[in-house]
Amino acid sequence: MPSDRLIEVENLKKYYPVTAGLLSRHVADVKAVDGVSFYIIEGETLGLVGESGCGKSTLGRILLRLEEPTAGKVLYKGNDIMTWDKRQLKELRKEVQMIFQDPQSSLDPRMTIGDSIGEALLIHGMKNERERLERVEELLKQVGLEPEHAIRYPHEFSGGQKQRVGIARALAVNPKLIVADEPVSALDVSVQAQILNLIKGLQHELGLAYLFIAHDLSVIGHVSDRIVVMYLGQVVESAYRTELFGHPLHPYTEALLSAIPIPDPHQKRERILLQGEVPSPIDPPPGCRFHTRCPRVMKRCRQEEPKLQQLEGEHSVSCHLYS
Amino acid sequence: MDNTILEIRNLKTYFYTRHGVVKAVDGVSFSLRRGEILCLVGESGCGKTATALSILRLIDSPPGRIIDGEILYHGEDLLHCSDGKLRHIRGNRVAMIFQDPQSSLNPVFTVGDQISEQIKLHLGSRHKQTRERTLHLMEQVGIPRAAERMKDYPHQFSGGMRQRVMIAAALSCDPEILIADEPTTALDTTIKAQILDIFQDLKQKRNMSILFITHDLGTVASIADRIVVMYGGKIAEAGTALDIFDQPQHPYTQGLINCLPDISTRRDRLTPIPGMIPTLIDPPGGCIFNPRCEKRMSICSQENPPQIIISGEHLVACHLYPPSALPQDKTEVIENAK
């Protein structure tokens, strides 16, 4: 196994039980994540893209063990974190941090942002208050805020600034990997560009790796080195960015790509309109999960589940068209 | 003469809050023609939603008040017509849909009830006709198995399907004008494409006029006929979609286009607009955009720029384009808002 793999997940599954009746009988499972494998190399950005309910956020949370998987392994630097105890997990969370979609609800309204960032430092053992203050100021500068901002409260900041605070807090413990769950989707377009630049700039500066989760393929395409496309809890395609955008193989990826708005009214492109909507993950369709919406569905797709197969390079696809 | 069915003239909607007066809409003028999709684009707090709500006098008062302007629907001023008349126009002639279909649908009524509510109210149809029409509407917006699904409740629908229900309800009285406030923002990419398609269809098949409000310039490129870009309660630039995308003149419009991630060219850095959206309680003096503008001149912080027509329908409010710098016969100062 190459040693530069920072984190690797193998055949990860997360089922949420659905219960019914007085005795909470277990009647079904929501298969949020159903057999997903991928890895992230140090210093790279892996983009995870898919529509709501495809399991991408659940996956992100499992990487920090904020959520316990039903089955599968998560290897951090080759060690299985599923066997780790509380103390070891605390160490893990020093190296793997998270940025959330809604900066508003992830900051305590009654704490100054200096305290919010400092709390992370305190928990991870920086007891000296002066040192902490210095580090907070340094972090604020790093994310493009002013040291004076440390004494202000979250409500005094705009959405973009709050997201900067969220990033500063994640950076506080010098992580190696940041899981960013839809970090820009709540922001205005002009501010979104600022935050994307900040995220990329920090990567160059600090050598961070990102798992960047988003539903917007144009944002994912901008920040990622490699991209994993998910549909209903499974990986349908993964490839390097240029490969995926240049030669998408899976019909779902093709449809996603064709739905990206092009800011140019001259380009009237043939949109691939997918029929219907995403089926429920409680009772996913048999065979290929995408077959109910696939414009290129074959007989085989309704019966047999395709396997994720590796083609040349690092391009993998799970579709009967290619087997 | 030019098919204008809705004209907004010098609209001013202010909100009187504890902290001061917010000039949410401050002298906005534009018109909507028959059978076109006009997009009102701007970021949060630019006044686009307040403009839309003002059209049907839906601004909550207090704190809001429409203090000036005219909203001419077929020449009749909606700001001064009677409540009865307005009620007839709302929903019937001019319908509106909102960003979050979840909160605009009543959870305790079936979607069929909610779509047909307006039909009963406005057309006074008897039972059988109402049902047929409801079914027809649901099919038109692409809700499968409409006959069964009309008995379902909103929570049994997905986000995209709920938005279709909202559109069906809005279409129920065959309105002339549809005002859609961020109708695709809460939806997934592939569903968004489907909904945009419905709007395109309504324009082409029913010759409907659509006022489409959004913060995302990228979304509208494929459907807009004309675009109005708002910033800080005022119009920064307006023109045809080609004017705006091919020759954006206002530094803000240029900034909005440049900060969109583009998948065809991989630039390492996006070009964001620096700074942040100003609060309208204490807006910057002169041109509201001046603190974030890279082409700022000394006049920008002192005087509000007038709106100038630079060609055809292309209009811009920026000191870079003073009347004197252009040939006299081609320019016209429309309005010199103070």
Name the nearest CA neighbour of B59 among B12, B129, B107: B12
Position B265 scores a pLDDT of: 63
- CB of B255 within 8 Å of any CB in chain A? yes
Lowest mean pLDDT among A10-19, A102-111, A160-169: A102-111
**Interchain CB distance below 8 Å, B189 and A161:** no
For the cut 80, the answer to whether the pLDDT of residue A82 exceeds it is yes
Task: Out of B215, B266, B269, name the one closest to residue A189 (CB).
Answer: B215
For the cut 90, the answer to whether the pLDDT of residue A235 exceeds it is yes
Task: Out of B188, B224, B277, name the one closest to residue A188 (CB).
Answer: B277
- pLDDT class for B125, splitting at 50, 70, 90? low
Residue B259: list chain A partners with CB under 8 A: 189-190, 192-193
Instruction: Report how far residue A84's alpha carbon sits from residue A98's, in angstroms, rounded to the nearest whole number.
Output: 19
Question: Of all helices (H) and strands (E), which one includes residue A228?
Answer: strand A226-231
For the cut 60, the answer to whether the pLDDT of residue B324 exceeds it is no
Residue B270: list chain A partners with CB under 8 A: 193, 196-197, 222
B127 CB contacts (<8 Å, ≥6 apart)?
none
- pLDDT class for A153, splitting at 50, 70, 90? very high
Position A53 scores a pLDDT of: 79
Token output for B295? 């082409």
For the cut 90, the answer to whether the pLDDT of residue A323 exceeds it is no
Q: Rounded to a whole number, what is the distance in Å from the CA of A242 to chain B's nearest CA?
A: 9
For the cut 60, the answer to whether the pLDDT of residue A40 exceeds it is yes
Q: What does pLDDT average to over chain B? A: 85
- CB of A51 within 8 Å of any CB in chain B? yes
Name the nearest CA neighbour of A16 among A30, A33, A2: A30
- pLDDT class for A2, splitting at 50, 70, 90? low
pTM recorded for the entire structure: 0.83
- CB of A312 within 8 Å of any CB in chain B? no
**Interchain CB distance below 8 Å, A265 and B242:** yes
Residue B219: list chain A partners with CB under 8 A: 261
In terms of average pLDDT, the best of A187-191, A265-269, A316-320, B259-263 is A316-320
Position B36 scores a pLDDT of: 94
- Which of the 8 DSSP states describes residue A319? -
For residues B327 and B136, the model is more confident at: B136
DSSP string, B33-54: ETT-EEEEE--TTSSHHHHHHH
Which residues 39-78 of B have a C-beta within 8 angstroms of A? Answer: 43-44
With CA atoms as reference, the chain B residue closest to A293 would be B190
Cis peptide before B274 (omega within 30 of 0): no
Residue A270: list chain B partners with CB under 8 A: none
For residues B119 and A34, the model is more confident at: A34
**Interchain CB distance below 8 Å, A278 and B188:** yes
**Which whole number is the average pLDDT over B47-76?**
89
For the cut 50, the answer to whether the pLDDT of residue B333 exceeds it is no
Instruction: Report how far residue B104's alpha carbon sits from residue B123's, in angstroms, rounded to the nearest whole number.
Output: 22
Residue A255: list chain B partners with CB under 8 A: 190
State ipTM: 0.76
For the cut 90, the answer to whether the pLDDT of residue B262 exceeds it is no
- pLDDT class for B213, splitting at 50, 70, 90? very high
Task: Out of B193, B257, B277, name the one closest to residue A158 (CB).
Answer: B277
Instruction: Report how far residue B59's alpha carbon sits from residue B304's, in angstroms, rounded to the nearest whole number.
Output: 26
A-to-B residue pairs, Cβ atoms closer than 8 angstroms: 130
Do B45 and B15 meet the contact criterion of CB atoms below 8 Å apart?
A: no
For residues A275 and B50, the model is more confident at: B50
Instruction: Report how far residue B89's alpha carbon sits from residue B96's, in angstroms, rounded to the nearest whole number.
Output: 11
Position B264 scores a pLDDT of: 65
- CB of A277 within 8 Å of any CB in chain B? yes
Position A266 scores a pLDDT of: 76
**Interchain CB distance below 8 Å, A51 and B190:** yes
CA distances to A61, A108, A153 from A104, in Å: 19, 8, 11
B132 CB contacts (<8 Å, ≥6 apart)?
none
Do B207 and B37 meet the contact criterion of CB atoms below 8 Å apart?
A: no
- CB of A262 within 8 Å of any CB in chain B? yes
**Which whole number is the average pLDDT over A23-30?**
84
**Interchain CB distance below 8 Å, B193 and A268:** no
Reduced to 3 states (helix: H, G, I; strand: E, B; else coil), residue A137 is: helix
Q: What does pLDDT average to over chain A? A: 89
**Which whole number is the average pLDDT over A115-124?**
90
For the cut 60, the answer to whether the pLDDT of residue B328 exceeds it is no
CA distances to A39, A96, A169, A183, A210 from A42, in Å: 10, 12, 21, 20, 9
- pLDDT class for A241, splitting at 50, 70, 90? very high
B66 CB contacts (<8 Å, ≥6 apart)?
B11, B12, B13, B54, B57, B59, B79
- pLDDT class for B338, splitting at 50, 70, 90? very low
Do A81 and A75 meet the contact criterion of CB atoms below 8 Å apart?
A: yes
C-alpha angle B48/B54/B55, rounded to 5°? 100
For residues B129 and A245, the model is more confident at: A245
Question: Which residue(s) pair with B23 in the sheet?
Answer: B14
Position B323 scores a pLDDT of: 56
Share of chain B above pLDDT 90, in %: 30
Position B337 scores a pLDDT of: 35
Q: Alpha helix (H) ranges present in A6-150?
A: 56-63, 86-95, 113-123, 129-142
- pLDDT class for B335, splitting at 50, 70, 90? very low
**Interchain CB distance below 8 Å, B263 and A219:** no
For the cut 50, the answer to whether the pLDDT of residue A242 exceeds it is yes
Position A3 scores a pLDDT of: 60
Cis peptide before B306 (omega within 30 of 0): no
Q: Rounded to a whole number, what is the distance in Å from the CA of A111 to chain B's nearest CA?
A: 23
Position B266 scores a pLDDT of: 57
- pLDDT class for A99, splitting at 50, 70, 90? very high
Position B329 scores a pLDDT of: 43
